[in-house]
Structure 1
Amino acid sequence: MTARPNSRVRDRLIAVGALTAMWMLLWGVFSWATFLSGLIVCAVVIAAFPLPPVTFAGRPRPVNLVRFTVKFFTDLVQASAHLAWTAFRFRYEAHSAVIAVRLTVRSDLNLTLCGEAVSLIPGSLIVDTDRDAGVLYIHVFDVNDRQAVEQYRREVHALEARIVRAIGSDAELKQITNEKGQP
């Protein structure tokens, strides 16, 4: 599916705006000179190194976005508490593992969003991805047996389902529903 010319121009303008804002934040100076130099540098970067368009076929669902956000922050707090508890336990030997999780929806956007969400939660980090197969390779802290590994895989799939329910397309939502057996 190719992007329409109007949406492609809009996407590039948004990218230039975001990069210019980042430029100004990095310089720490909010002046016309910084703004104009940021615009020029960002426009040159966008023109010289064009990225392939990221298609977004989904639509935001506000209720599910709130559900995702609340669960995500709950996961952040729980994972942080677990890491702190593990750090202060005497004579406890935490084991880690690198596990492969095949995502249900194999779009680049879903792969990226799931990878970012997983990496933001303390105790887990994306170490590699297989874009073609839709697989995330995740370093997970404190998994002691096969059951803990499978539980973590289920958690990643649940995270993916929440992301798709929050912003996915109807076709992606159908994929999640068919895979999990629930809406």
Structure 2
Amino acid sequence: MTGVSKPSAGPTAATNPPLTRRARLRNHLIAATVLVAIWMLLWGSFTWADLIGGILIVVVLLAVFPLPPVTFAGKIRPVPLARFSLRFLRDLVVASAQIAWLAMRFGHTPRSAIIAVPLRVNTDLNLTLTAEALSLVPGSLIVEADRTSGTLYVHVIGVRSLDEVERFRRNVLDLEARIVAAVGSAEERRRVNSPAAAGPPVPADQEGPST
């Protein structure tokens, strides 16, 4: 597996202004909540021991290895958040079934690719949330995240054609749009919904699933 599907570079804008003390405290609380939620998802079951253990580990991690300042300029919207959660659960089920089917096809070697997806909202928070959501879905794994350009490099199993490469890239941008709709700012939502936000076309010689 050697191919990398990489689009041409497009304009991105990093938006991480300095934070006030109150904003840092709020963002630390949000980061702790998200990390605990990810901890519980990785365990795959809910127990009070796992929850308490996750909280203790997150507190230690944030104290010993403080995260870089992350701006949260948006607000939590319950309805889009519920839509994101339901779609995420659906994607988990569908992807799990697809991976199980590939595993049962004896003698068949699935093709894979590393696909570069430049996000439209280049902030640390959006990059992290989108990357985590992708990594939790079976069949896709983040191999690199370019913070400067806001590009995710995703290893994907079961890619057989250039059309499927483009379909996966559109799915990632749709995922980003659902995340921004749930927790993004008005400016981030405008950027995602703008017709020009999809980025430049991908040259054919930069595409290619690999075996």
TM-score, L = length of structure 1: 0.78
Q: Secondary structure at the match of 2:99?
A: helix
Partner of 2:87: 71
Is the Cα contact below 8 Å between 2:80 and 2:181 reproduced in 1? yes
Written as runs of structure 1 = structure 2, the 5 A alignment for 1:48-67 is: 49-67=65-83
Is the Cα contact below 8 Å between 1:106 and 1:133 reproduced in 2? yes
Matches of 1:17 and 1:161, distance apart in 2 = 21
Partner of 1:175: 191
Tell me which of 10, 19, 24 is aligned to 1:8: 24
Tell me the matched-pair count: 168
- Which has the larger Rg? 1
Q: Partner amino acid for 2:176?
A: E
Q: Does 1:148 align with 2:174?
A: no
Matches of 1:18 and 1:165, distance apart in 2 = 17
Written as runs of structure 1 = structure 2, the 5 A alignment for 1:6-155 is: 6-9=22-25, 11=27, 42=60, 46=63, 49-155=65-171
Label 1:144 to 1:61 Cα distance change in 2 as closer, same or farther (>3 A).
same
Structure 1, residues 76-134: CA drift from partner, whole Å, max 9, x if none? Answer: 00000001111112333310111100101100000000000000000000000111011
Is the Cα contact below 8 Å between 1:104 and 1:179 reproduced in 2? no
Q: Secondary structure at the match of 2:93?
A: helix
User: Which sections of structure 2, spanning at least 5 residues, go unmatched?
Assistant: 1-16, 40-47, 198-211
TM-score, L = length of structure 2: 0.69
**Greater RCO (Cα-Cα under 8 Å, separation 6 or more):** 2
| Displaced runs of 4 or more, over 6 A | 13-19
Matches of 1:148 and 1:68, distance apart in 2 = 23
- RMSD over aligned Cα, in angstroms? 3.2
By percentage of residues, which structure has more helix? Answer: 1
* CA shift for structure 1 position 50: 3.7
Q: Secondary structure at the match of 1:90?
A: coil
Is the Cα contact below 8 Å between 1:16 and 1:42 reproduced in 2? no
Q: Partner amino acid for 1:141?
A: I
Q: Secondary structure at the match of 1:53?
A: coil
Is the Cα contact below 8 Å between 2:27 and 2:70 reproduced in 1? no
Identity of aligned residues (%): 49
Matches of 1:17 and 1:145, distance apart in 2 = 39
Q: Secondary structure at the match of 2:141?
A: strand
Q: Secondary structure at the match of 2:194?
A: helix
